[in-house]
């Protein structure tokens, strides 16, 4: 046995999703489809959807933003791109990746094409979520990310193949071939953060996973030890230890049930690396009592600034990856919403003035509070013209599984997503009910019917 065989054996096994994880799976569906609807007519969503239309594919799989039916691979491409277009989709706080934005577009599209039901879809999601986390840990994730790889795109392909192999009933050999094939397609660099290509990473990863599983099930071959082979995935994309490789099988089983503990829904449509600081900024506003600071300092853990741009943003896409802009906008507006990333909002004179006063740096230890931290931290220090100094620190974002959003708040976010796509609130409520019920339905046809019943926004 090797790493590829470990993942294949895990993926090709069968097992029903436990009740608690089915509930979380329903939350993931609501959040991911909502984020896709919010991305309706964003530049990357519109351009990819236009390209898919030009390709002229036919099939049973649905583009979530329009209700149109295309092939499974093209639906996965369009839906993955749309759901990641605004960087509002869920994350792994430990791993700096977005799991559902690759897994769900691939799994749902394949389920529509093959007629798979909700319970097996939920089980397949468990498999993909576990592979995402276990493989990222083996790389290890910090080294992989430091090299410039976008884990959502690289490891995401492997995780989606594992989930699809489980859903499709592939045997171990077919699954190893599919993993070997898709590992050869892995790519996606952090240099593209803040551009339209970043959300495309998720869509292409979902599309490639469907292609790999389809080809492997028809007999297409690849190196069946690709992960651990010389010049293979782990050698190219990471620096795994023997301990990490030997523990992979156990880690996969651990994360099958534990993935909801390493999971966060995002309150703000911006890079997750800004969220702790934005939480701190919003908490600080009561103490500021309407006063704007003369200077703001943000300090984060080592490597915490890697996903972000280090220059002043001029577009909404760049602003999502700007710590200075996100914190300044939160202090000025008392929120950080979709409208704050429209190009016109970047010219707000108060935000621009405050943004110029924001200093951002990394530190090995937090400048105040307990010296220890788990996944990361953000401290925010505000200096006022009166000489007063206000401080806040956030280690766990609101929306993290350790500090979760309520069901009401999850649904309110979905309604916000729909509002941004000109979807009526009444229809949003109906669609939430369909999505929450999908894990126990015998087919996913109800989702297609709901999306087609009321097209999401103007065509």
Q: For residue range 253-277, what is the model confidence (pLDDT) as tens digits? A: 999 999 999 999 999 999 999 999 9
Q: Give the start-end residues of each E strand in 243-368.
A: 295-300, 358-362
Q: Give dist(CA 352, CA 120) in Å, integer.
A: 50
For residue 135, the model assigns a pLDDT of: 97
Cα–Cα–Cα angle for 353, 356, 359, rounded to 5 degrees? 140
Domain endpoint, select from 358, 374, 394: 394
Q: Is 300 found in the same domain as 239?
A: no
10 Å CB burial of residue 115 (0-12, 13-18, 19+) is exposed
Q: How confident is the model at residue 453 (pLDDT cuts 50, 70, 90)?
A: confident
Give the per-residue pLDDT at 15: 61
- 242 and 2 Cβ atoms separated by less than 8 Å: no
423 domain-assigned: no
Count up the domains in the chain and report the number: 2
Q: Are residues 277 and 226 in the same domain?
A: no
Token digits of residue 459: 């065509």
Give 149's DSSP letter. Answer: B
Boundary of a domain, candidates 221, 242, 261: 261
Cα distances from 53 to residues 62, 63, 69, 353, in angstroms, run 13, 11, 10, 43
Return the pLDDT at 365: 97
Give the residue from 375, 394, 413 where a domain finishes. Answer: 394
The residues pairing with 389 across neighbouring beta strands, listed in sequence order, are 383
pLDDT for 455 beyond 80:
no
pLDDT at 459: 38
Q: Within a domain: residue 344?
A: yes
Residue 151: inside a domain, yes or no?
yes
Could you tell me the CATH number of the domain that includes residue 371? Answer: 3.30.1330.120
What confidence tens digit (pLDDT) does each residue in 11-51 have? Answer: 998 665 555 688 899 999 999 999 999 999 899 999 999 99
Residues 304 and 236 in one domain: no
Alpha helical stretches, state H, 259-406: 275-288, 316-319, 323-333, 349-355
The mean per-residue pLDDT over the stretch 179-199 comes to: 97
Shared domain for 257 and 316, answered yes or no, is no
Cα atoms in the 13 Å half-sphere on the side-chain side of 360: 28
- Residues 333, 190: one domain? no
Query: In sequence order, what DSSP letters do the residues of 160-211 get, joined into one string?
Result: HHHHHHHHHT--HHHHHHHHHHHHTT---BGGGTTSTHHHHHHHHHHHHHHH
User: Does 236 share its domain with 308?
Assistant: no
Which is nearest to 67 in space by CA: 451, 459, 454, 457? 451
> Do the domain assignments include residue 453?
no
The whole-number pLDDT of residue 421 equals 80
Instruction: Select from 103, 77, 107, 78 the least CA-distant residue to 89.
Output: 103
pLDDT reading at 295 higher than 60: yes
Helix, strand, or coil here: 359? strand
- Classify residue 192 by burial, with Cβ atoms within 10 Å: 0-12, 13-18, 19+: middle
Chain position carrying tokens 């859903």: 167
pLDDT in the model for residue 20: 62
Report yes or no on 424 lying in a domain.
no
State whether 86 and 183 are in the same domain: yes
Q: 9 and 95: one domain?
A: yes
Cα 349 from Cα 344, distance rounded (Å): 11
- Paired tokens of 181: 């094939």
Q: Spell out the residues 6+ positions from residue 434 whose beta carbon is closer than 8 angstroms to its own.
A: 446, 447, 450
Contact (Cβ atoms closer than 8 angstroms) between residue 161 and residue 192: no
Q: What is the pLDDT confidence band of residue 1, given thresholds at 50, 70 and 90?
A: confident
The answer to whether residues 248 and 339 belong to one domain is: no
Per-residue model confidence (pLDDT) at position 315: 93
| Same domain for 312 and 221 | no
Q: Is residue 289 part of a domain?
A: yes
At 369 the three-state DSSP class reads coil
Q: Is residue 278 domain-resident?
A: yes
CA-based Rg of the chain, rounded to a whole angstrom? 21
pLDDT digits (tens, 9 = 90+) for 208-259: 999 999 999 999 999 999 999 999 999 999 999 999 999 999 999 999 999 9
For residue 183, what pLDDT is reported?
Answer: 98
Query: Which residue range(s) make up the domain with 374?
Result: 272-394
**Residues 329-345: pLDDT tens digits?**
999 999 999 999 998 88
Q: Which residues pair with 97 in a beta bridge?
A: 92
For residue 70, the cross-strand partners are: 61
Instruction: For residues 406-414, give the mean pLDDT.
Output: 95
In a shared domain, residues 107 and 247: yes
Please say if the pLDDT value at position 189 is more than 70: yes
- Same domain for 48 and 186, yes or no, is yes
For residue 156, the domain's CATH number is: 1.10.4100.10
Residue 71 located in a structural domain: yes
φ/ψ of 378, rounded to 5, equals -140, 130
């Amino acid at each position: 046995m090797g790493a590829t065989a470990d993942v294949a054996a895990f993926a090709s096994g069968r097992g029903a999703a436990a009740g608690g994880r089915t509930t979380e799976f329903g939350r993931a569906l609501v959040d991911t489809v909502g984020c896709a609807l919010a991305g309706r007519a964003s530049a990357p969503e519109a351009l990819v959807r236009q390209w898919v239309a030009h390709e002229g594919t036919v099939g049973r799989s649905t583009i979530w933003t329009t209700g149109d039916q295309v092939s499974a691979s093209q639906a996965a491409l369009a839906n993955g791109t749309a759901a990641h277009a605004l960087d509002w989709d869920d994350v792994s706080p430990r791993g700096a990746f977005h799991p559902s934005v690759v897994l769900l577009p691939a799994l749902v599209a394949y389920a529509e094409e093959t007629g798979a039901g909700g319970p097996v879809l939920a089980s397949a999601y468990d498999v993909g979520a576990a592979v995402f986390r276990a493989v990222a840990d083996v790389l290890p994730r910090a080294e992989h990310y430091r090299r410039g790889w976008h884990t959502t795109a690289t490891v995401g392909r492997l995780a989606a193949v594992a989930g699809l192999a489980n859903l499709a009933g592939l045997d171990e050999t077919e699954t190893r071939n599919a993993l070997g094939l898709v590992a050869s397609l892995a790519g996606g660099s952090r240099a593209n953060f803040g551009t339209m290509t970043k959300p495309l990473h998720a869509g292409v990863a979902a599309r490639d996973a469907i292609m790999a599983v389809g080809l492997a099930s028809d007999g297409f071959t690849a190196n069946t030890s690709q992960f651990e082979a010389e010049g293979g995935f782990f050698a190219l994309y990471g620096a795994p230890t023997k301990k990490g490789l030997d523990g992979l099988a156990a880690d996969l089983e651990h994360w099958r049930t534990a993935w909801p503990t390493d999971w966060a829904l995002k309150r703000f449509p911006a890079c997750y690396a800004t969220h702790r600081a934005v939480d701190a900024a919003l908490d600080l506003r009561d103490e500021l009592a309407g006063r704007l600071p003369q200077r703001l300092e943000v300090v984060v853990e080592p490597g915490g600034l890697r996903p972000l741009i280090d220059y002043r943003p001029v577009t909404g896409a760049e602003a999502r990856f700007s710590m200075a802009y996100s914190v300044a906008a939160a202090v000025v507006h008392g929120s950080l919403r979709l409208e704050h990333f429209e190009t016109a909002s970047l010219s707000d004179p108060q935000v621009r003035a405050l943004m110029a006063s924001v200093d951002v740096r990394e530190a090995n230890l937090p400048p105040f509070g307990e010296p220890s931290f788990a996944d990361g931290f953000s401290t925010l220090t505000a200096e006022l013209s009166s000489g007063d100094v206000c401080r806040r620190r956030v280690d766990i974002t609101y929306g993290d599984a350790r500090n979760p959003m309520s069901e009401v708040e999850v649904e309110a976010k979905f309604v916000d997503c729909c509002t941004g796509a000109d979807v009526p609130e009444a229809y949003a409520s109906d669609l939430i009910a369909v999505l929450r019920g999908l894990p126990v339905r015998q087919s996913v046809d109800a989702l297609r019917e709901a999306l087609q019943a009321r097209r999401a926004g103007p065509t």
